[in-house]
Amino acid sequence: MNGLIRGTSLPLRALWSPGAALDDVALDGVALPRAVAPLALLLLAAALGALALPRLLDLLDAALHPTGQAVLDAHLGVLRVGLGRLLVFERLVLPVPYLLGGTVLWLVAAPALEGRAVRGSTVAAVLALGAAPLLVQRAGELAVVLAVPGSGLVAGDVAGLPARFNVGVAGALAAAGVAAPGWLGVAAQAANAVGLWVVALWGWGLARLDRGPGGPAGAAPTLWWCAVATAAYAAGWALHAVLYPTLLLLVMGAP
């Protein structure tokens, strides 16, 4: 029971004491916290996302209110179902770019650290704890959703409402009324404070595994792994940009 509680609390502990949390999953003989930590992160993120869903779905209903025209109302009904699925998916699943970036990083780091007698499951748990700042992002998105006025929104505004919590380049561009085109828009979304926080924890955590738990990683390994984490993070956003139209079709369904 103690191991289960420790594993569940690790994503939260990683926000204010990342070294101790990372060592908890890296040390031998504590397999339960290592196994529970990724699941706890997923569940905590889903819980925060779920809290925003009632408000988002109410706003979507208000934005797509019936017009009295049968053909248009039928179209709005289909749009309501599709956007509702998208909102549920995005609130209950971790942001896809981070999942893709973390997967790419695991594929690189797990074989590289195998020579250090580090298990792939340990690498996965460290990457999950490194993604703990996404809980801060979910909390910020929830605050935005609950605080926004319910009038004057169209369906697209509701779908993009959580994205208004973007502490970074995209948020600054949006506040200035500038729409970044194409790949520059993707880069602007990726260049945010939460993403940089995640990359720093990924790099630092992998450097600790490279050096061994319980001690400082050293500047050179930390910089190396931070560079690898940055490349994987960028790859995750690039893959997301390529796959997003297909993902949107799968989640929303055919029009």
**DSSP letter string, 115-155:** TTT--HHHHHHHHHHHTTHHHHHHHHHHHHHHHS-SSS--H
pTM of the model: 0.88
Predicted confidence at residue 36, as pLDDT, reads 81
Residue 2 pLDDT grade (very low, low, confident, very high; cuts 50, 70, 90): low
34 pLDDT exceeds 90? no
- Length reported for the chain: 255
Q: Is-contact 127 120, C-beta < 8 A?
A: no
pLDDT in tens, 43-94: 999 999 999 999 999 999 888 876 667 776 677 778 888 899 999 999 999 9
Distance between CA atoms of residues 225 and 207, nearest Å: 6
194 pLDDT exceeds 80? yes
Predicted confidence at residue 181, as pLDDT, reads 65
Predicted confidence at residue 109, as pLDDT, reads 94
Handedness of CA 114, 118, 120, 124 (dihedral sign): negative
Q: What is the mean pLDDT of the chain?
A: 84
Predicted confidence at residue 151, as pLDDT, reads 74
**Tokens 């929830």 label which residue?**
142
Q: Is-contact 53 88, C-beta < 8 A?
A: yes
Predicted confidence at residue 200, as pLDDT, reads 94
32 pLDDT exceeds 70? no
Longest dimension (CA), the chain: 68
